Structure 1
Amino acid sequence: MPALTRDEAQTRARLLDVHHYTVDIDLTHGADHFRSRAAVRFSARIPGDTFIDVKPTELRSATLDGRPLDPDTLDGNRLPLPGLTAGEHELLVETTMPYSHTGEGMHRFTDPADGETYVYSQLFMGDVQRVFAAFDQPDLKAVFELTVTAPTGWTVLGNGIATRQDGAANRWTLAPTPPISTYLVAVAAGPWHSVHTEHAGLPFGIHCRRSLAPYLNADAEEILDITRRCYDRYHTLFDEPYPFDSYDQAFVPEFNLGAMENPGLVTFRDDFVHRSAVTDTERQTRGMVIAHEMAHMWFGDLVTLAWWDDIWLNESFAEYMGFQVLSEATRFTHTWTDFGIARKGWGYDADQRPSTHPVA
């Protein structure tokens, strides 16, 4: 599928203001596919043509301002939106989407230990179109309001507080987000084992697959203590309230990265749920990742890069703050030693390669 270029993104951003997504995701359609329905409210500053990003197995229907669009006009991952007039518009796109087994889009995993199944989203960068139709670029922020229908016995997690609706269907509503970028939308669903607490009036939760429950329970107090201490320290340093309504951390299987800073629902590779005795250095590393991802809640999620060429600043700032805050707020007071041994070496290695370049 063609990747969105910066020029295309800038052209679309000059044309559009995106206001609100109402998204309905149905995870009850078998092991291979799920369905999504996205209603997008946006406005055009001037008349023009553009497109929305979506990569479905099947584009079931699309309407723009009540007028049907021809599904056959879908070109790869681009659905044309021709002849926009200046002013407000509403687009409705219904799709069937494939589950992923590569960690992109909506990843699906069945635990060989007990046969339980879990799904979670990973949308960085440019993969929201694998879950629902969206103007998939970081500078077109909007409010996201999601509803998820899941198999019986599953719990749904997301960017906002999740509430199970009354009725026979296992249907969950996620509280609307503040304006966020498309790549930060997050959903995780399955028969999670969860540990809940509250801090500073905010619900905190940590989650893992059921087969890892004894191991998460053993480390829950340490993980939550680090979370609370870092949360308090960031408030002191930034003097800006945490901008979301909850703070969940899900340790998910087959995760491609170390972690992802989805606002209100940080996802971590579940290797961080230690199955055996580990060194204090390994515990410090886990704490550093917790602190790093929390820094992104302010720098990356509340304030976000306009385009991907600034990802170096997003990550380097969170890396610095993670080491600094962990050393100031927790028992891990020698984190900068680890930085000097490990992270600094990465920089030396990169500087010696033919691909070395200025940071900006």
Structure 2
Amino acid sequence: VLTRDEAQTRAQLLDVRRYTIDLDLTTGDETFDSRTVIRFTVRADQDVTDTFVELKPAELRSVTLDGQPLDPETLDENRLPLKNLTAGDHELRVDAAMRYSHTGEGMHRFTDPTDGETYVYTQLFMDDVQRVFAAFDQPDLKAVFELSVKAPDGWTVLANGITEHTDGVWKAAPTPLISTYLVAVAAGPWHSVRTEHRGLPFGIHCRRSLAPYLDADADEILDVTRACYDRYHEKFEEPYPFDSYDQAFVPEFNAGAMENPGLVTFRDEFVYRSAVTDTERQTRAMVIAHEMAHMWFGDLVTLKWWDDIWLNESFAEYMGYQTLTEATRFTDTWTDFGVVRKGWGYDADQRPSTHPVAPEAVNDTASALLNFDGISYAKGASALRQLVAWLGEKDFLAGINTHFTRHRFGNATLADFIDSLAAATERDVHAWADAWLRTTGVDTLTPRVTGDNGTYTLTVERTGSRPHRIAVGLYDPDLTDEGRLTLRERLDLDIPQTDGRPIGKRPALLLLNDSDLTYAKVRFDPESFRAVRNGLSGLPEPLTRAVVWNALRDAVRDGELPPHTYLDTARAH
């Protein structure tokens, strides 16, 4: 386990320039050969110093530092000490045999029971690069990676860059500066569908036994990919920063997908083998959009340490849903977010194990892994959606583009991100970040309606401390269709309010957080609750209905609504 203090110390000592990695996948079923050359510099302001490189070999054959052999027996756990380093340039060479994995980390190996074909692929996230090659394994020691892979006859090797092969050896184009955890290889007798978009090679890949199913969906997958690519180029001033875009659907994948630059890996359950609902197709499209957003936020600009992992995931989550809505036929994705994802965030945030969206102290990689939850994804994305509502999309995108320009192919922190946003607006983004990202729990918003004779005023009571910009929906009975409710007006409202908001005639239903722009529990006044019980399914928009269902669910969870009342409502609507 690497600690934050160790990573900061090593980053002050070293500049890592280039990795040259040679992998041999022809040595058997249990292990593969890994030969690595790391060229790095010890900074001139350092005295003679010690550090270490990470490696988890089956057998460490040899190590040389600047041409002098090191004792392989000094490898302790996963650390190989490098002692008495002087200021200036150094070259480390490591020759090792590495174990294939069958549990998803490192270099995973899979033999397809359908046809006996074998496939391997990497998953190097967090601290698993050391299962494949020796590395200074932390996100802020970015380097160029030059990769060659010897593979069996009939295999194709995919990597972060375009690959070419001669006599069974595949060479990938050197990468731009990227982090160790983003290096990727996928090798095997892939079935591939290739195309080109705006001069960039696009490819989708799966194991051969799934070829008919990938072919059946190839147009849809590539259409979504092209649409998202084009929309991101409308939003972002920085062009796509890599030389190709491959998407590999791989077997036995531990996660949903991984944003390796130029070679995104997906679980191959996304290659649908039977009839599926349109919602499942939308989910696949959202994952495609999510991972592509990472090409900028995560890959081009990478976190400095794992305490900011939420920023990668929340940004990709927000951008995935928003871009899919804007650029594809899946125009109702925020309803899916409200139904499927948001409850995940609310539940995680109300447990004793809750944590801020942006925790201030993540001491090591093991602690960081615990933060991959509904808070980092759903609550963080909800916070960004609220930020866009509060700041305005124009200023939000201006801040994002400033961030990309300032930190391209580098590393950045939450403070850097907030500073970039602050440069695009006069609003106090730093205070907003403290209120939203450094606190835990869920605010509750409750409406109070006062007045008579057709002149009513709305006041919103808040339990909690965050500012909110919300839409308030005013719904009246549909005189032409009994049981339906029609939208009279949506009001924009900033909470806390300075005074009551006139709303004119009393609506049948007054719905706080209509459009689901903030992250908060909402309650109903008595008259609105009666309208919900009688007319929930008659609300005209699915996102509005999702907000209502979530509000009812939250009230049950908090002991304010009897479960049988909820079930009666569910049975009716």
Report the TM-score, using the length of structure 1 for normalisation.
0.98
**SS across alignment from 1:148:** strand
Offset of residue 348 of structure 1: 1.0
Post-superposition shift, 1:183? 0.2
Q: How does 1:105-144 map to 2 (within 5 A)?
A: 105-144=106-145
Q: CA deviation at 1:192?
A: 0.1
Other-structure match for 1:277: 275
Q: Look up the equivalent residue of 1:40 and give its one-letter code.
A: I
TM-aligned CA deviation for residue 280 of structure 1 = 0.4
Where in structure 2 are the equivalents of 1:325-336 lying within 5 Å?
325-336=323-334
C-alpha distance in structure 1 between counterparts of 2:354 and 2:100, whole Å = 37
- Counterparts of 1:122 and 1:78, CA distance in 2: 20
- Aligned partners of 1:181, 1:261: CA distance in 2, in Å? 12
1:94 aligns with 2:117: no
- Letter paired with 2:35: R
Matched residue, 1:67: 68
Q: Which residue of structure 2 lines up, in the alignment, with residue 198 of structure 1? A: 196
1:250 lines up with 2:251 in the alignment? no
Amino acid at match of 2:174: P
- For residues 178-205 of structure 1, what are the alpha-carbon distances to aligned partners after superposition, in whole Å with 9 as ceiling and x for unaligned? 0000000000000000000000100000
Query: What CA distance in whole angstroms lies between the structure 1 residues aligned with 2:89 and 2:349?
Result: 49
- Which residue does the alignment assign to 1:212? 210
Instruction: Give the letter for the 2:285 counterpart.
Output: G
Query: How many Å apart are 1:343 and its aligned residue?
Result: 1.0
Among residues 22, 25, 49, which one is paired with 2:23 in the alignment?
25
CA offset digits 1:86-112 (Å, max 9, x no partner): 000000001000000000000000000
Per the alignment, residue 154 of structure 1 pairs with 155
CA distance in 2, matches of 1:296, 1:51: 30
- Alpha-carbon distance, 1:356 to partner: 1.1
Q: Secondary structure at the match of 1:152?
A: coil
Letter in 2 for 1:355: S
Q: How does 1:224-243 map to 2 (within 5 A)?
A: 224-243=222-241
**Alignment partners' CA distance in 2, 1:255 and 1:26:** 22
Tell me how far 1:85 sits from its aligned partner. Answer: 0.3
| 1:124-159: CA deviation from partner (whole Å, max 9, x where unpaired) | 011110000000000000000000000111000000
Residue 313 of structure 1, CA deviation: 1.0
Q: Which residue of 1 aligns with 2:34?
A: 36
5+ residue gaps, structure 2, are: 359-573
Deviation of 1:120 after TM superposition, in Å, equals 0.1
- Given residue 107 of structure 1, which amino acid in structure 2 is its aligned partner? H
**Counterpart AA for 2:105:** E
- Aligned partner of 1:317 in structure 2 is 315
Amino acid across the alignment from 1:154: W
Secondary structure class of the residue paired with 2:196: strand
Matched, 1:104 2:105: yes
Partner of residue 5, structure 2: 7
Hey, what does 1:348 align to over in structure 2? Answer: 346
Distance 2:285 2:327 in 1: 11
What's the offset of the Cα at 1:309? 1.1
**What is the distance in 1 between the residues matched to 2:22 and 2:3?**
28
Residue 357 (structure 1) shift: 2.1
Match of 2:299 in 1: 301
Name the aligned partner's letter for residue 8 of structure 1. E
Task: In structure 1, list runs of 5 or more residues that go unmatched.
Answer: none
User: Greater RCO between the two (CA within 8 Å, min separation 6)?
Assistant: 1
Q: Distance in 2 between matches of 1:5 and 1:301?
A: 22
Instruction: Please tell me the residue identity of whatever aligns with 2:159.
Output: G
Deviations 1:198-217 (A, max 9, x none): 00100000000000000000
Equivalent AA in structure 1 for residue 97 of structure 2: T
Pairwise CA distance, 1:79: 0.5
**Matches of 2:197 and 2:53 in 1, distance apart?**
40
SS in structure 2 at match of 1:342:
helix
Partner of 2:264: 266
Separation (CA, whole Å) in 1 of partners of 2:337 and 2:237: 26
Q: Provide the rounded CA distance (Å) in 1 between the counterparts of 2:106 and 2:3.
A: 20
Moved >4 Å (runs of 4+): none
Tell me what 2:432 maps to: none
Question: Distance in 1 between the 2:355 and 2:13 partners?
Answer: 33
**Could you give the per-residue CA deviations for residues 274-321 of structure 1, whole angstroms, max 9, x where no partner exists?**
001110000000000000000000000000001111111110010000
Instruction: Tell me what 2:450 maps to.
Output: none
Partner of 2:565: none
**In structure 1, distance between residues paired with 2:320 and 2:173:** 28
Distance 2:304 2:87 in 1: 24
Report % sequence identity.
Answer: 80
Amino acid at match of 1:273: V
In 2, Cα distance between equivalents of 1:261 and 1:347: 22
What's the CA shift for 1:239? Answer: 1.2
Aligned to 1:79: 80
Residue type at the aligned position of 2:219: E
Residue type matched to 1:307 in 2? Answer: W
Matching residue's letter, 1:82: K
Q: Which amino acid aligns with 1:342?
A: V
Q: Residue 55 of structure 1: CA displacement? A: 0.6
Residue type of the alignment partner of 1:270: D
Q: Aligned partner of 2:176: which letter?
A: P
SS of the aligned residue for 2:355 comes to coil
TM-score by length of 2: 0.62
Query: 2:409 aligns to what?
Result: none
Q: Aligned match of 2:181 in 152, 161, 183?
A: 183
Kindly provide the amino acid, as one letter, of the partner of residue 104 in structure 2.
G
Matched pairs, number: 355
